[in-house]
Amino acid sequence: MSSQGPHSDKNCKGTFREKLLIICSNLGVEDVEHLKFLCIGLVPNKNLEKSSSASDVFEHLLAEDLLSENDPFFLAELLYIIGQKKLLQYLNYTKEKVEHLLPTQRRVSLFRNLLYELSADIDKEKLKDMIFLLGDSLPKTEMTSLGLLAFLEKQDKIDENNLKYLEDLCKTVVPKLLRNIEKYKREKATQIVVSPADKEAESLYQGEEELFSQTEVKRFLEALPEGVFAFLNKGDSGNWPDDL
């Protein structure tokens, strides 16, 4: 491949996909389930349901522009969350670099992170207890803790703003998990999500305020000749802001 030169698009794409393939070969069935769960809400559910391997998931990430050679961070975030930090090297990331970028570039929501963390602390015995409590409301199939949480979400029993059902379940079976839920609520309450477009608009608005503050507008109007001000204000005095 090196004979094609460093600027060969074909070579670059091939090299990137080769790295993805190496990552795939190091991920097991459980890892694939975790990846699919973390991608809910970002990749169409029908595509995730059909994915049986990590390469399937990666293909969907590429199609949804969530993954590219120039920007592989989302995959790095996923590998970091599922504890496959050694594989970050194939994306030219380190654990420290991912941790540094997460506050500003994370794509996995706090809610999905919470459910993932909770699933890791629900062992087989606790899972059996939860399944027993939920009884006939669950399908008669073998289910993992992550699968149980995904089912509750799919059935609209829980969402990012309503965790009462899950809290009651944890209170009965795994009370210690209530700490995770409380922590999530605090983080969500203080989380300020501002999109790039909003930031730009906010910046422009702030700039306008600096150039044309209310005080400056008032001074400008007061400085106009009396006749001009009367003309501008004629018949519309009620429409002028009270603070001018």
Do 118 and 100 fall within a single domain?
Answer: no
For the chain, the domain total comes to 2
Do 139 and 177 fall within a single domain?
Answer: yes
**Regarding predicted confidence, which is higher, 65 or 139?**
65
* Burial category of 157 from C-beta neighbours within 10 Å (exposed 0-12, middle 13-18, buried 19 and up): middle
The pTM (predicted TM-score) of the whole model is: 0.72
* Burial category of 226 from C-beta neighbours within 10 Å (exposed 0-12, middle 13-18, buried 19 and up): exposed
pLDDT at res. 139: 87
Which phi and psi angles does 216 have, rounded to 5°?
-70, -40
Q: How confident is the model at residue 211 (pLDDT cuts 50, 70, 90)?
A: very low
Do 166 and 146 fall within a single domain?
Answer: yes
Residue 200 counted as domain residue: no
Do 78 and 37 fall within a single domain?
Answer: yes
Residue 202 counted as domain residue: no
The answer to whether the CB of 48 falls within 8 A of the CB of 31 is no
Domain that includes residue 159, residue range: 112-193
**Mean pLDDT computed over every residue of the chain:** 82
- Which stretches of 26-163 are DSSP H helices? 29-38, 45-50, 54-63, 73-81, 95-105, 110-120, 124-134, 145-154
The answer to whether the CB of 40 falls within 8 A of the CB of 150 is yes
Q: Which of 193, 215, 239 is the last residue of a domain?
A: 193
Do 155 and 173 fall within a single domain?
Answer: yes
Do 119 and 94 fall within a single domain?
Answer: no
pLDDT digits (tens, 9 = 90+) for 56-105: 999 999 999 999 999 999 999 999 999 999 999 999 999 999 999 999 99
Output the six-digit token pair for 105: 């570039």
| Nearest CA-CA partner of 236 in 244, 208, 215 | 244
Do 38 and 20 fall within a single domain?
Answer: yes
Do 103 and 21 fall within a single domain?
Answer: yes
Residue 60 counted as domain residue: yes
pLDDT at 212 over 90: no
Residue 185 counted as domain residue: yes
Q: Which of 107, 134, 157 is the last residue of a domain?
A: 107
CATH number at residue 185: 1.10.533.10
Residue 183 counted as domain residue: yes
Total residue length of the chain: 244
Do 64 and 96 fall within a single domain?
Answer: yes
What average pLDDT does this structure show over 210-231? 53
Residue 68 counted as domain residue: yes
pLDDT at res. 216: 56
Do 21 and 81 fall within a single domain?
Answer: yes
Q: How far is it, in rounded angstroms, from Cα 35 to Cα 230?
A: 68
